[in-house]
Amino acid sequence: MTDYGHSLKFGAVLNPLAGKTADLVAQARLADTAGLDLVGVIDHPYRPDFLDSFTLLAYIAGQTERITVFSDVACLPGGISLGV
């Protein structure tokens, strides 16, 4: 299997449960200090028990030193008209 010229990266996916912000940031900091490359957060806006993913990612980015953050599922807004 080819690597398409990319280096292998390792990361963690966090479960963005509301009320667990301190735990999520602690987990992201641990991943950062452990040398992982990425921290992902699931984006499921229809889940009222989940924090807003993009706000959480911005907060995590501000609380860590070098890790890259990403949304591992990104729900786009609906209702886009194609003019058909």
pLDDT tens string 49-74: 999 999 999 999 999 999 999 998 87
Euclidean distance between CA atoms 42 and 31, whole angstroms: 17
Q: What percent of the chain has pLDDT over 70?
A: 88
Q: Tell me the three state secondary structure of residue 72.
A: strand
Nearest CA to 31 out of 73, 61, 74, 72 is that of: 61
- Per-residue confidence at 44, pLDDT binned at 50, 70, 90? confident
Q: Which amino acid is at 43?
A: D
Nearest CA to 59 out of 11, 14, 6 is that of: 14
Euclidean distance between CA atoms 35 and 17, whole angstroms: 24
**pLDDT over 90 at 46, yes or no:** no
